[in-house]
Structure 1
């Protein structure tokens, strides 16, 4: 890897950090390191979501949330021969899992493993045509027995994380890493507070790293109850439709063409008044953007908007190739433009504006 600037260094530390739902300590510590210099205070909810507060004027409370957790696995049992069985944490497609390297976060340190299954050479011709089911997979850590696996420090309940190192591609704006879903959202929350450091803003901004998004938008619920925001932004990854085989009807977003403004997903219909304000802000500032919808899946906005008596909320996402695999690709420009769009919108969100958009 060539010269690495401060932002790329932050990306690397965030994405290389290991944190499945329920064990987000490593990415939380990285986010804390990077966001603390721009926050008046950093606190936590009781599930472990990080909440960094920055006060401009004492106006509306604005929540900008990325989630700390990544999809992974949890050890459920060790068989007599030392092979590891597991539960998925978050959504996995079985075809992207086999022969992939993983790291088990054991009590004596990290343990390397690979996901295995019965070899195709001994399967019937019919069985070979079918994808291997996740229930028939296991993790091989090179142990010869249950006792040896335990001696490595592996036990049920341990986190298992995909192994991949952050790597800029030859086109240096194209960035390859695990866990873009959703360390890019955490990076956006950090950078928003950084860019507001020397700016006047008529509100209180909360940069949040939520926990357990991949298993049901859980940390966003507890963090939003802690903050009681007036406006909520979830920042996450979205579907890129610019690879072979995808029609524009299925997904038309392209990486590098601006952040996605999510109109609808399975967790929320986006708030029309807030959405219109964000679109107007993008057009005024000549910030590129794309519209997106997702019939399946959701983001932290799904929990935030249902807090207390309701929170006008919007999801702003970064088109990312190969999400929910070991390796995703996104574009640096989309990060920069998402930050700019959120910062410019926050500068407009005084109490009168918040009140005026509620019922638009």
Structure 2
């Protein structure tokens, strides 16, 4: 299964789908999953709802894996042809500087590089400060604004990072947009494995990184009995992170969220957490429990839909989250898929 996970994750990671522009990933999900579900539907908000029908009156479970990645958007084209942009999602500004990017237009894609004033020309105190994203520009090689517009570049174009998926040692891989193509891959591959009496709604959600928007809309439409977000979580097994900040590690299996955003996000109901734990134990898979001070997932939006829906999160530990060089273990993904498959089967008895 590792080879299958590797191949699918590479395909998803290399695709470009910033928040609000999820078309490329949505088409991959539809292509990969259609054979294993009874119906696929794109709603008016861009979510892809894939339904595998169960027995009549059986419980209905919603899986949510967001298809969007953090990116940028063209805000302004200067007279000299340089591009100014805004952030879409939670970037740490210093990770953006000197990145190569792709600007997506109606006519096609164009490469650019993010720059700022060279340190050689900065005053001493300026060189000691972090450059803010608002002070950065994108160089696409245009001589002036007219040429940039002739290239098809205009305000509102989405921008993604120009990074390719690569393998590291020990079944670790790196790439962009693992948040959340990892969750999307787990959802697709679990759907290929399961045999359950429950009805499963596998939803590729949109605009998670800018407000959990797609999950809010799609959950209201699906109205499930149980919700489960598939996402990534912060791994703390790297230099300068103490256990008290994050004890989550790669190679120790999937993580189940107990609470995130200090409880302002989701506080997972005991019954849902017990289902996740029981499923992991039945598959003889080690798991980790994640209590987060910050961050949240689609599970928060699902849990607050209609009159309230019991919800949880199955996530895969990831290093360097919200950068173009995220790192994940294919072994953890394999374990996560095994647990997820068991959860879908156990959901037949959810009441």
Match of 1:242 in 2: 237
1:45·1:226 contact (CA, 8 Å) conserved in 2? no
Map 1:60-71 onto structure 2 (within 5 A).
60-71=59-70
Match of 1:358 in 2: none
Pairwise CA RMSD of aligned residues? 1.2
TM-score (norm 1): 0.94
Describe the superposition over 1:235-294 as per-residue Cα deviations: whole angstroms up to 9, x where unpaired. 101001011110000011111110010110122111211101211221232111111121
Unaligned runs of 5+ in 1: 356-360
Match of 1:175 in 2: 173
Describe the superposition over 1:24-80 as per-residue Cα deviations: whole angstroms up to 9, x where unpaired. 000000111101110101012211111111123231110111100000000011000
Match of 2:291 in 1: 293
Distance in 2 (alpha carbons) for counterparts of 1:338 and 1:18: 24
Pairwise CA distance, 1:8 = 2.2
Distance in 1 (alpha carbons) for counterparts of 2:331 and 2:110: 36
Pairwise CA distance, 1:202 = 2.4
Match of 2:217 in 1: 222
1:186·1:208 contact (CA, 8 Å) conserved in 2? no
Secondary structure, counterpart of 2:350 in structure 1: helix
Match of 2:94 in 1: 95
Describe the superposition over 1:337-360 as per-residue Cα deviations: whole angstroms up to 9, x where unpaired. 11111111221223xx433xxxxx
Pairwise CA distance, 1:223 = 0.9
Distance in 1 (alpha carbons) for counterparts of 2:105 and 2:258: 41
Equivalent residues, number: 346
2:110·2:140 contact (CA, 8 Å) conserved in 1? yes
1:202·1:348 contact (CA, 8 Å) conserved in 2? no
Distance in 1 (alpha carbons) for counterparts of 2:251 and 2:218: 31
Match of 1:277 in 2: 275
Pairwise CA distance, 1:127 = 1.3
Pairwise CA distance, 1:206 = 1.2
TM-score (norm 2): 0.96
2:65·2:203 contact (CA, 8 Å) conserved in 1? yes
Q: Runs of 4+ in structure 1 displaced over 6 angstroms? A: none
Map 1:192-271 onto structure 2 (within 5 A).
192-196=190-194, 199=195, 201-266=196-261, 267-271=265-269
1:122 equivalenced with 2:151 (yes/no): no
1:150 equivalenced with 2:149 (yes/no): yes
Distance in 1 (alpha carbons) for counterparts of 2:96 and 2:343: 40
